[in-house]
Amino acid sequence: MKTHQISAEHLSIERIGEIINEGYKLELGSDARQRITHCREYLDRKIAESEVPIYGVTTGFGSLCKISISEDQLSQLQINLMMSHACGIGERVSNEIVKIMLLLKIQSLSYGYSGSKLDTVERLIDFFNNDIYPIVYRQGSVGASGDLVPLAHLCLPLCGLGDVEYQGKCMSGAEVTKMMGWEPIRLASKEGLALLNGTQNMSAHAVWALIKAKRLIDWGDSIAAMSLEAYDGRIEPFTLAVHTVRPHKGQIDTANRMRELLEGSQLIKQPKVNVQDPYSFRCIPQVHGTVKDTYDYVKSVIDTEINSATDNPTVCPDEDLIISAGNFHGEPIALPMDFLCIAMNELGSISERRTYKLVSGTRDLPSFLVAKPGVNSGFMIPQYTAAAIASQSKTLCMPASADTIPTSQGQEDHVSMGANAATKLVQVIDNTERILAIELFNAAQALEFRRPLKSSPVIEKLHADYRQVVPFIDDDQIMYPHIAVSVKFLQEH
């Protein structure tokens, strides 16, 4: 069994991918235990000694911050907060993203600036390690006081409330607590706020998107290389000298990768009739490269976010400070998520254009990539599907972070809408994967019409692997199963 120890050690996007995909279990390191306990003991002393109200600890929340709460009601205040904030609606957040949410919430609480009790953090770990997935809904967070609504749904089951999915079955938090032989967590002062404040819903979506986007960006180059070969494209636009005079990192990296992918190709070396290629081929380094540069920027921001404490108030025992501020605000990651959404849309958009060129009946390719067009529609309609998906992605590129609607009677008067940016990003990532799968479907078909000439060993290996699951299409047949298999091929290779 692989174990990841929660500690002050930097948590990278790549490490999260390993933890989630390879079935790691979590455990608290001794330093994390010490920080959590130290902070909680400090907070308890401060509550006992202080005559001044402490926001969210001995007061109400949001615009109710002026109402002080008596000591005997502090625990009820926290559970009421959890119940009243569980107002999610719409589609469920996927279990994979929910598991990342659990990991990020555990990581954030482990820094010892939140005031959570040790048993609360350990119960979150129990949920993670036993693959108990709280049922969280996509709609409800404005991304400002943290992800209040989705995090309420994430954490209610700790207290025997809310709903979960366990071993493929949906059940109540009370049922799973009893099944596991646990007692519901009794929240102490400030704990409900520590669990609900924070950006773990937005951040988990962003982490999932970055992990998947990295694979799709790599696929984008490989599939584009196959399409270029099938379209009888030119190698000159990838010459290093062209890119050293405009030395954007992603552009240079993409030109280098395209040359590597095409090394040893017979097709790329044959004399070309066409003097120029369309932009969707000629400008692959400029477009794919910009997507890569955007990815790197967004990754750097999310990397900082997931290694931060983002709830409120911030409890700093060593400085003897409890400060109500704004670390829960989603703005630092809302704008970058919108940026990545636009970039991944562009990766899909240029892919759809290459698909269109392949079916257009030019450069000695048959119309719609079938030997007998007319009686056969061939690959006419997969391009329609790619166009429809690409168009939907474009509509999703309106930046969610450009909007704000005041909440909590105007106390929370500027919000990030980062959760909407996050869910849109996930949808565009999925859309881009489908568009690339359709391009591969077309490119593999088109490449067959260039025989007996061969592409490079790398592209021929990709083509051979793909042909193990998707056949050459001689005559019309039902296409959607082949598209579905193409998507699965990208996910598994």
CATH code (residue 419): 1.20.200.10
- Are 472 and 239 contacting, i.e. CB atoms less than 8 angstroms apart? no
Q: Report how far residue 279's alpha carbon sits from residue 283's, in angstroms, rounded to the nearest whole number.
A: 5
**Residue positions counted in the chain:** 493
pLDDT > 90 in the chain, percent: 85
Assess whether 109 and 76 both reside in one domain.
yes
466 flagged as catalytic: no
Residue 483 structural domain: 205-492
Task: Return the pLDDT at 264.
Answer: 98
Assess whether 411 and 264 both reside in one domain.
yes
- Helices 200-230, 418-448: crossing angle, 10 deg rounding: 20
Assess whether 310 and 414 both reside in one domain.
yes
Assess whether 177 and 239 both reside in one domain.
no
Range in 93-97, 355-359, 375-379, 470-474 the model is least confident about: 375-379
CATH of the domain at 41: 1.10.275.10
Assess whether 247 and 135 both reside in one domain.
no
Q: Which residues contact 276 (CB under 8 A, 6 or more apart)?
A: 234, 282
Assess whether 392 and 409 both reside in one domain.
yes
**Listed residues 137, 170, 198: the one ending a domain:** 198
Strand stretches in 182-279, DSSP E: none
Assess whether 174 and 64 both reside in one domain.
yes
Assess whether 187 and 282 both reside in one domain.
no
| CA-closest candidate to residue 343, choices 164, 185, 246, 209 | 209
| Tokens at 187, concatenated | 């929240």
Task: Return the pLDDT at 161.
Answer: 97
Does pLDDT of 313 surpass 60? Answer: yes
Q: What share of the chain is helix, strand, coil (3-state, %, to 5)?
A: 60, 10, 35
Can you give the pTM of this predicted structure? 0.95
Grade residue 24 by pLDDT with cuts at 50, 70 and 90: very high
pLDDT in tens, 365-409: 999 999 887 888 999 999 999 999 999 999 999 999 999 999 988
**Listed residues 198, 224, 240: the one ending a domain:** 198
Q: How many domains does the chain have?
A: 2
Q: What is the distance between the terminal CA atoms of the chain, rounded to a whole angstrom? A: 25
Task: Return the pLDDT at 58.
Answer: 65
Task: Return the pLDDT at 75.
Answer: 74
Catalytic option among 24, 55, 113, 231: 55
**Listed residues 173, 198, 223: the one ending a domain:** 198
pLDDT > 70 in the chain, percent: 96
